[in-house]
Amino acid sequence: MRIRLDPSSSVSVGEQLRRRLESLILSGSLGAGERLPTVRSLARSQHLAPGTVAKAYRSLESEGLLIGRGRLGTFVAEELPDRPTDAEDLLGRAAEAYARRARQLGFDPSEALRRVRTELAGR
């Protein structure tokens, strides 16, 4: 997971981290059920204090975007609490990313659509 933070920004690095994680979740780049790095691991990789990362995680948990499972880790929520107001745009970007990746992997459109239908049906 790549996250770029700007220490010279007027927005705190903790808030930048929270916003970036939120964006990754809402865009589908971090998928439902995906495990996030540990607080310490992410803090180390971003050169942040562990408390800064923990605060961002707690904020996203309170918004229903993350689920903390104690020693098992922190995971992206299986279902988002509410559809964001720009859900159509986010869904369009996720569809574009999926189509691009399916082409990169050599799948034809009918196979890619079959897989989406399977996932949407929850199987």
**What does the pLDDT look like over 9-48, one tens digit per residue?**
899 999 999 999 999 998 889 999 999 999 999 999 999 9
| CA-closest candidate to residue 34, choices 42, 25, 43 | 25
The answer to whether residues 71 and 26 belong to one domain is yes
Q: How far apart are CA 42 and CA 55, in angstroms?
A: 12
Instruction: Provide CB contacts within 8 A for 42, sequence distance 6+.
Output: 36, 48, 53
User: What's the total number of domains in the chain?
Assistant: 2
Residues 107 and 70 in one domain: no
Q: Provide the residue range defining the domain that includes 43.
A: 13-76
**Residue 119 clears pLDDT 90, i.e. is over it:** no
Residue 6 lies in a domain: no
Tell me the whole-structure pTM to 2 decimals: 0.67
Mean pLDDT of all residues in 94-123:
88
Q: Are both 17 and 44 inside the same structural domain?
A: yes
